[in-house]
A and B are shown apart, each in its own frame.
Chain A
Amino acid sequence: DGGITQSPKYLFRKEGQNVTLSCEQNLNHDAMYWYRQDPGQGLRLIYYSQIVNDFQKGDIAEGYSVSREKKESFPLTVTSAQKNPTAFYLCASSKGQGNTEAFFGQGTRLTVV
C-alpha cells in the first residue's frame, strides 16, 4: 500500500533530551513537510523540503532540525533547545513541482516528562 508512515505513534521524552521522529513515504513524492499542532489549534509549519538534500525553515523552526538524505525519508529532531516540545507532530508529503495536495501521516504525539 502506498502511503506515509510516522513512527512512533506516542513518544515520551525527558527534559533535556533530543528525540527524533520518523517519517517515511513510498508515494514517490518530492516535497515533504513537518507540522506541529497544539490542542485545539491549527497546524504550524516547522520545516519543509521540496527536493532531496534541500529544506527550508517554516514558521517555527527554532529548536528543531531535519535532514533529507533520501527522497522517502524526512526525519525531525526535536532538540533540547525547544522550550515547549509537548505537541502532536504531523508529517506530510506532496508531489511537488507545483502540486501541493498533501498526504498526511497519522501523527506522533510527543510528551515531555
Chain B
Amino acid sequence: SQQGEEDPQALSIQEGENATMNCSYKTSINNLQWYRQNSGRGLVHLILIRSNEREKHSGRLRVTLDTSKKSSSLLITASRAADTASYFCATDSRSEKLTFGTGTRLTIIP
C-alpha cells in the first residue's frame, strides 16, 4: 500500500505561474518529505518538514503540513521550464520505513 496520495495526478501551467501540489497520508508520521524525479532518473530530495512544524520555505519552495487533516502541500513559485518533473511526497514513521505517494506530474509550458 502507498501511504501518500498526491493531487492532482498531473498539472500543466505557464512558465512564471505558481504550482501547487497536495499530498494526503493515512497514518501518523515523524516527518514528511518532498522529492522530485526527472523522467527515467532517480529521485532528488527537495525539502523535509517535521510533524511539529506547520510551514517551511526553501528558495522558491513552500511546504505546509496539517497533521490534523493528514495533508501537506508543496508550492513552487515563479515556475520555470526546468521545474518540469514528477513530484512525490514521502512519509516516515518510528520504524524509519519511508513510504512514497503516487506523485504529481508537473509540466511547465514555456
Binding site for B on A (CB under 8 A): 31, 33, 35, 40-45, 48, 50, 56, 58-59, 88, 90, 92, 94, 96, 98, 100-107, 109
Contacts and interface: CB of A to CB of B under 8 A. Distances in A.
Interface stretch (B51-59, B69-77, B92-100): B92-100
A42 B30 contact: no
A100 B88 contact: no
Contacts of A104: 42-44
Query: Interface centre among B33, B96, B99, by most A CB within 10 Å?
Result: B96
Contacts of B99: 45, 59
Given A43-B88, A100-B33, A90 B43 contact: yes
Nearest to A4: B42
B42 A106 contact: yes
13 contacts: A31-B96, A42-B88, A43-B43, A45-B97, A48-B97, A58-B97, A59-B2, A98-B96, A100-B96, A101-B33, A101-B45, A104-B42, A105-B42
A92 B97 CA distance: 12
Query: What 9 A-B pairs have minimum CB-CB distances, sorted nearest first?
Result: A104-B42, A42-B102, A43-B100, A100-B92, A104-B43, A106-B42, A42-B103, A100-B98, A42-B100
A94 B98 contact: yes
Nearest to B100: A43
Nearest to B45: A101
